[in-house]
Structure 1
Amino acid sequence: MENMYRNPFKAPDAGNTGDPFVMRYDGRYYLYFSAGGFFSMGKMTHDLHCWRSDNLVDWTYLGVACKLPDIIGGYAPEVIYNKGKFYMCTSPHGNGHFILEASKPEGPYKQVTGRFGQRIDGSFFIDDDGRSYFYRAEGNGINFHTMSDPKTVDLPGTPIGESCLNGWTEGPMVLRHGGKYFLTYTGNHLLSKCYKVAYSVSDSSPVSGYTNMKNRVVLAEVGDDFHALGHSSSALAPDMDGAYIIYHTYELVKEPHHRSMNVDRLFFNGSRMYANTIWWDQEKPSLADYSVRGTDELAGSEKDGEKLLLTKKPTPAIYTAEINVNAKGGDFELVYAGGKGRITVNDRTVRVSEGGKVLAIGELPSNIVMRSNNSYRFTRHHDGKMLLMLNNNQEFLKWNSSCKGGKIGFSLLPENAAVGFVGFSSYSDGSSDKFVTKAVPGRMDAVHAVEDHAKLACIENGRDIYCVKATVGSVFTFPINVKADGLYTVCAHVRQADAGVRVDVNGRELVAAAPTAYDRDGSAKVLLGRVKLCGGLGKLVVRAGCDFVIDSFELAEAEDVEKLTLVEDGRLCHDADIFGWKGRGSMISKEVGYSCSENDGFVYVGGHGWTDYRTDAHMTGYMNSTGSCEFMFRMQKESYFGSQPARAGYGYSVRIGCGSISLIEWNYGEKILVNYTLDDCGRFEHDVSVVAKGQKIAVSVDGKELFSYDIPMGNVSGRAGLRVTGECFGVQSMKITPV
């Protein structure tokens, strides 16, 4: 079990580890928490502290990073390396930001600004051109500020509209990956069980051009054993190819309430980013295949009369390598492919050459200081394209290379130069995503199968993603980490599946009929069936039995729909979860039936694995009164908290109010899919039936079908429920039956 870890966990000597931020520098990771999370001699302190790790999981405490009086109680410290210094931003007690400076990641940090306000959760980003930006929390979404220098945040800020989570949105960070900008953020309240992380993506700029994918939520769980996931940061993986997301969970069920740290893998597919939360044993992040520190472990050699200082092992043909060096202002030259390729740094000009031919040239951006340590990371893709990245994942130079693998190192290095981390891995351009285990329950994109399938360019919400054209006999193998022994439903996100979908999953044949509808991007979800899996590490092997385009597979814990009576004679008659501001007292029996006690109440029943079922109810209301009855179905990630949208879940409901009936999509907000007029007057009663089967939702009132609606990419499973608002609506009976 030495190579395993389990979320959530704590760093040594850490207590309440909220708002974890991780910075990678010189091949190592540095960790900071909000103040109040460190214990010294059994007592909690309110200073800022720092830890260090090589793998994001095993941490060593380095000491107090900042103990200044004005910074006591600092919220959400974040650090960036800029112009040879380390800059921290934090908002003590949430009362506005300070910027601090240090010469080492662990500090000590000193103030370089006064308090300049701007709410909480400040975050830095440096773009490819060296320009700096500052991001922070706000009620209308994440706001950004330009920075004229590392110590100056320009005011006022500007909102990034697409980043709003229908209310207060916090915890921003920008991750540069694959030529795109991924902005992550959290909402709406840390005390909600569905405190969650979402993202927007831009091709053009770190502050504009952002749009959202169909599912922008990266992290969300509401179970009693794992919930309230939020305030994340992201970091380059130890293999230098992938990325990890670091976040906290807030224990809200058991005493004492506290926040703990979690680390999970991120996966990328064009403009799509996703993560599968794992709170059972999982493998630690893989390290670089080869790494050293300093020049002692590098080997001297001579080629054509030229002295080289090289790694003792060669890179493979496809690789990512990194060299950290402080040349103390002198010129130096990096080599790759055993010396066939050169990266020459002369003053601030960088030239890439092979065989004496210059392939790329550029001037270092303004954030790079030559008398300090800098990172030069270069990667060779399968098609021979190479990319040079600088500190903070800045994309710098691109070129086509005829060189393949070989040793890396130096051909020119000043005598007083200091060399840091030197290493490489056998991954490039996100190829490591194929070999990292995927969680079950969870999702896995087809392009992340171990096999090298040809990618099919597709569109989702106007943005690029990649699918795979499956033909008879195509195999998709995924390394998986299964939560527990049991049955799991298998759902496929497909395109061009008009003949249906037939697959073999770990030896079991699963079949789905052709989708009844596709969305505007030509996508649909189909439920294939169930497969039995053993808990722990293993493989999921999917063999196609027909031709179709596959986007992704999703697996969830299977549950049989239970035939039950939830309400009878206006009274609750089955165990259920009741939400509302009065807790279980939020729903009571009244003259109109089972209803809310004061304006709003929720009841949930059943399992998140429930698939096809119908709800039959008899409801009562009064014309010209405010309020409604809503019958929820296929609900996922449901929660209740006063400071978040009322429709707090992902699923659907049929709402009946005065004179109308609506089909509504819940997404911690709402989208009305269908609205139908009812001819009501005075006191009215209706028999309401909602049938969810496959992609189709059918709604009947008083024995007559009013409408049916296809939801091509909707939830295929989820809980049932009831919501009542106002004082004059109630339910006399409500039954749920499998179909």
Structure 2
Amino acid sequence: MKKLLFIILTAIASTSFAQTWTNPMSISGELVPGGIGDPYMMKYKGVYYLYASNDDAAILRCWTSKDLINWSDAIICSTDPTIKGAYAPEVVYWNGMFYMYTSPHGNGHYVLSSNSPTGPFTVVTSNLGKVIDGSVFIDDDGQLYFYHADGAGIFGCPMPTPTSIGTSVNLNAQMNGQWTEGPCVFKRNDIYYLLYTGNHVLSQGYRIDYATNIINPISRYTPQVAQNPILVKSEGDFSGVGHGTAFIGPDLDTYYFTYHNLVKTVGGQPLRKYNFDRIAWNGDKLSILGPTNWAQQAPQLAVTDYFDRTVVGEDWLFPTGGNWGINNSELLFQDEQDAVSETGHKAIFTSASATDYTAEFTIREVSRKNDTATLGAIFSYSDEENYGVALFNSSANQLEINFLINNVWKVPQSVSLPAGFNYAVWHGIRIEKSGTSYRFFVDGMQKAALTSNLGGGKVGYITRNSKGDFSYVALSKQVKGSGILDTYKPVPGTIAAVHYNTGGEGVGYHDLTPGNADKQYIRNDSVDINTNPEGGFHISSNQSGEWYNYNVNVEATGVYNVGIRYAASAPAQIKIQQGTSEVTSVVELPATGSLSAWRTFTLKGLHLTAGYQTLKVETITGDFNFYEMQFKPADNEAVTVTDDFTTAFSSDWNFADGNWNIESGQANIDGYGKKVMGSAGWTDYTIEADIRYISGMNAGVIFRVNNPAAGGENNNPVLGTDFLQGYFVGLGATNVSLGKHNYGWASLTSAPGTYSTNTTYHIKIVVSGANIKVYVTDMTTPKIDYTDTNPFISGKVGFRSHGTHAHFDNFSVTTAGTETGIEEVSVDEIDLFLTKVHDILTINTNLKLRAKIYNTAGQLVIEQNIDSHHNQINVAKLAKGIYIVKLLKTGIFKQSDKKMIFCSAFAKIIKN
């Protein structure tokens, strides 16, 4: 007797990593009970140093790490009495000395100094003022700048020396006209970035904004309103996030941002924890991939040598001699001073080579034989006839760069270094190579951008008529932000379309037309990429059959919605897979009007599995431009929630600020406040409520609400009146208005109407995708019919009042409960037969299904719709063997994988 077998496939492939980090973190020796607040990160000779705010003890701590995962025990770096209550200490290395800037209790700044990053730091100035949260930036010309918080926002000042501060200049960076602090400035691709925090450390709405300028470090900055806030989390145990540092990670390429979260308040003081998350660059557009509080893929590491041993070892080659050795298990030295001028004494690091790369070197001069003596870095070394050099010439006070190609030196390039540059102390050289482009940095200052046909290769050190010491060296294959591409990016979160995986055609992507038609070669492959008006780049001209793979790190197994940001002149179709399993059906993206009219369309109900996964986005039909994906946890169950406020608020309300109460069987507010209920995963719904204005008319309904918070240190509803992300509908004397809160306010549209106080109005709001319809009194014809081109895609519902006395009543919300995703079919919903005589596979079900049959090579061999009346599939053409039957629900899609062996005349197996 032959048998028919079905085997349930439940395992989904997932990558795991030996090391991860999970926010928030505890570090040995942190303050008890204060934790780590205002974390500041500095890198020196390949080691990261973490500093944090102090309590009232004269003991300041720091910690060290090489990988950002494993941290040292606390190191006491200062016992100077000045550092009692030291707020936000930051440390800068400049020309052999470490300078610490801090404002004890926020009462002006002191500068401390040390010859070591771990101290001891001792005070070297009087109180220099400038209030609180001092931070220092060094520009490419060696000019230092000081930044600080003040009542009018963030200010910047030139610094004549590392221990003196000039006149403050307002930088146009202030949140909501309220207290703003925690400045952090850095420069990338000739753009100055200013990150800052507000409004109060004890507020759950503590958050990060950023601004940019391209003129100079203390010119007026432009807040990036379309993106801000770039880091916010106001609800739950993990909230109140802000105040940190942007820095480059141990892969030499990926930026990160440190910050703290507020755990609780103890005796009026904050208990905070340390966190950090990745920054993803789409061109010059900055996005923080966070805040996260689940395990994240550990930072990638460059290939490094710290010389922490007694012998040089086999990883170094010395092709031109010299006396090389290890000293004190911390540095490589070369102390033979005579050498042929151009050949020099070389040390080549043989452990790694790369075509495109970032490399870092650490160098100091011990002595020089004459005024032509140099020492420095070797890069792109393939042999003795092909390499480049970046050399310090202490006599000329300059960096000298040259390329040797086919044993012919090119024209040397020389760049002056700051006056007083001390070559006898440690300095860093950084080189970024991408294609034929080379960029050279000294101590973080960009000194040259050159073009050369010299290819990739190894790195190393060289002396010419000089003696030198050399320390930490590193080589990474990541450059110009490429480190983010294969990183498992957090979901929930936003992923840029251009951040598809590496590996090329058939691995990271599939493209039907060779070459990049739009000539924006940020990926050096055949995907068509163009600039985007919203910042960075998008994938253009997607065609049927093209696809892109994205590595994601899913927080929890469950249901997610995803907002697809795209532009299309005609309808297009896509689908999304997780591994080999479809998580959406074929979904139509409506036309947006043109290939430059950007819209967001929400795909609902993607069932994703927790952990490290790969998502494939495939174009089925059409031609569209693809910008980004925003993943949000979903709650798509169809529910109706009501509250008539008879005697109390129902238990469904889960956030409130302001003085809410029940008055005459109605919700009452007199002044400022918000009250919110429901699930942040709700997407489409209908809200109805009665509203009656008693005095004032600035109150109404809020919906798709995320991150509601009060303001200030005492949960002040006035300061926090705009502290939410979501929509608002309200009535005025002459109109009904629709607006948008994003920790600020923007009016979207309005419609004329006459409304007055002491009159009850019934409001209905219907939210579907990006469309919002608002009805007032007349429940058949909307007063407002508005489509938001860049919508919030999900959130809670509730009320908001701004200086108004208002009553609300007869509240209800009904969610739509629709999905476009796929999930498993219930084990009780189907029977499967195979009749050998007629070669018929029968699927008994009351569901509407799409059946797909695959062979063991993964090829689709049969596809057919199934329902209760059309439930048979002819499999006569299939050879005997093992096949996979995939059943997909239509409507609310579900998925079940079965494996079957055809080898019986007749058999019936019921799914169990």
Give me the identity figure in percent.
Answer: 26
Aligned to 1:252, the other structure's residue is in SS state strand
- Give the AA of the match of 1:457: N
What residue number does 1:40 align with? none
Distance 1:731 1:406 in 2: 70
Once the two structures are superposed, the pairs formed by residues 357-376 of structure 1 within 5 Å of their partners are: 357-358=410-411, 360-366=413-419, 368-376=421-429
Residue 45 of structure 1: CA displacement? 3.8
Distance 1:446 1:103 in 2: 46
- Give the AA of the match of 2:456: G
What runs of 5+ residues in structure 2 fail to find an aligned partner?
A: 1-16, 322-339, 369-373, 502-507, 509-522, 817-912
- Give the AA of the match of 2:418: P
- Give the AA of the match of 2:19: N
Residue 241 of structure 1: CA displacement? 0.9
What residue number does 1:129 align with? 141
Residue 181 of structure 1: CA displacement? 2.0
**Equivalent of residue 298 in structure 2, options 284, 304, 307:** 284
Confirm or deny: 8 A CA contact 2:725 2:742 kept in the other structure: yes
Once the two structures are superposed, the pairs formed by residues 328-727 of structure 1 within 5 Å of their partners are: 328=366, 330=368, 331-338=374-381, 340-347=387-394, 348-355=397-404, 356-358=409-411, 360-366=413-419, 368-381=421-434, 383-391=435-443, 393-412=444-463, 416-450=467-501, 451=508, 452=523, 454=527, 456-460=529-533, 464-496=536-568, 498-506=570-578, 507-510=582-585, 513-514=588-589, 522-546=597-621, 547-560=623-636, 562-568=639-645, 572-581=649-658, 586-591=659-664, 593-596=666-669, 598-622=670-694, 625-641=695-711, 642=715, 644-681=719-756, 683-703=758-778, 704-724=781-801
Say whether residues 1:260 and 2:273 are aligned partners: yes
Closer, same or farther: CA 307–144 of 1 in aligned 2, 3 Å: closer
Distance 2:251 2:176 in 1: 33
Closer, same or farther: CA 366–576 of 1 in aligned 2, 3 Å: farther
Confirm or deny: 8 A CA contact 2:359 2:432 kept in the other structure: yes
Distance 2:199 2:105 in 1: 19
Once the two structures are superposed, the pairs formed by residues 162-181 of structure 1 within 5 Å of their partners are: 162-181=173-192
What residue number does 2:193 align with? 182
Confirm or deny: 8 A CA contact 2:134 2:183 kept in the other structure: yes
Please provide the CA RMSD for this pair.
2.6
- Give the AA of the match of 1:284: A
Confirm or deny: 8 A CA contact 1:447 1:455 kept in the other structure: no
Closer, same or farther: CA 457–269 of 1 in aligned 2, 3 Å: same
Once the two structures are superposed, the pairs formed by residues 163-312 of structure 1 within 5 Å of their partners are: 163-208=174-219, 210-213=221-224, 214-252=226-264, 258-277=271-290, 278-293=292-307, 296-297=312-313, 298-302=316-320, 307-312=345-350
Residue 333 of structure 1: CA displacement? 3.7
Confirm or deny: 8 A CA contact 1:51 1:60 kept in the other structure: yes
Distance 2:241 2:346 in 1: 49
Aligned to 1:715, the other structure's residue is in SS state coil
- Give the AA of the match of 1:66: S
Distance 2:707 2:783 in 1: 29
- Give the AA of the match of 2:47: R
Distance 2:388 2:427 in 1: 20
Distance 1:511 1:719 in 2: 29
Distance 1:91 1:518 in 2: 54
Distance 2:540 2:84 in 1: 53
Confirm or deny: 8 A CA contact 1:665 1:673 kept in the other structure: yes
Residue 401 of structure 1: CA displacement? 2.1
Closer, same or farther: CA 71–509 of 1 in aligned 2, 3 Å: closer
- Give the AA of the match of 2:392: V
Aligned to 1:559, the other structure's residue is in SS state coil
Residue 504 of structure 1: CA displacement? 2.8
String of CA shifts for 1:421-474, please: whole Å, max 9, x gaps: 01101111111110111001111111111135546333445x554444432222
Distance 1:151 1:405 in 2: 42
Distance 2:353 2:65 in 1: 24
Closer, same or farther: CA 468–138 of 1 in aligned 2, 3 Å: farther
What residue number does 1:39 align with? none
Residue 254 of structure 1: CA displacement? 10
Which shows bigger deviation, 352-361 or 564-573? Answer: 564-573
String of CA shifts for 1:682-714, please: whole Å, max 9, x gaps: 631211111111212111111142222221001
What runs of 5+ residues in structure 1 fail to find an aligned partner?
A: 37-43
Confirm or deny: 8 A CA contact 1:638 1:649 kept in the other structure: yes
Aligned to 2:319, the other structure's residue is in SS state strand
Aligned to 2:682, the other structure's residue is in SS state coil
Distance 2:421 2:682 in 1: 55
Closer, same or farther: CA 27–110 of 1 in aligned 2, 3 Å: same
Closer, same or farther: CA 562–212 of 1 in aligned 2, 3 Å: farther
TM-score (norm 2): 0.75
Residue 727 of structure 1: CA displacement? 6.3
Distance 1:504 1:520 in 2: 22
Confirm or deny: 8 A CA contact 2:565 2:626 kept in the other structure: yes
> How many matched pairs?
721
Aligned to 1:588, the other structure's residue is in SS state strand
Which shows bigger deviation, 563-572 or 9-18? Answer: 563-572
Confirm or deny: 8 A CA contact 2:207 2:241 kept in the other structure: yes
Distance 2:547 2:265 in 1: 43
String of CA shifts for 1:532-568, please: whole Å, max 9, x gaps: 1111122122222232111111111110253111335
**Equivalent of residue 84 in structure 2, options 64, 72, 78:** 72
Say whether residues 1:31 and 2:50 are aligned partners: yes
Say whether residues 1:19 and 2:19 are aligned partners: no
Say whether residues 1:52 and 2:52 are aligned partners: no
String of CA shifts for 1:46-81, please: whole Å, max 9, x gaps: 422121110122111362222112221100000111
Residue 521 of structure 1: CA displacement? 6.8
Confirm or deny: 8 A CA contact 1:570 1:733 kept in the other structure: no
Confirm or deny: 8 A CA contact 1:50 1:62 kept in the other structure: yes
Confirm or deny: 8 A CA contact 1:629 1:730 kept in the other structure: no
Confirm or deny: 8 A CA contact 2:109 2:127 kept in the other structure: yes
Confirm or deny: 8 A CA contact 1:571 1:732 kept in the other structure: no
Aligned to 1:432, the other structure's residue is in SS state helix
Residue 497 of structure 1: CA displacement? 5.4
Which structure would you say has the larger Rg? 2
Residue 149 of structure 1: CA displacement? 1.2
Aligned to 2:782, the other structure's residue is in SS state strand
Confirm or deny: 8 A CA contact 1:592 1:730 kept in the other structure: no
- Give the AA of the match of 1:349: Q
TM-score (norm 1): 0.92
- Give the AA of the match of 1:30: Y
Closer, same or farther: CA 520–189 of 1 in aligned 2, 3 Å: farther
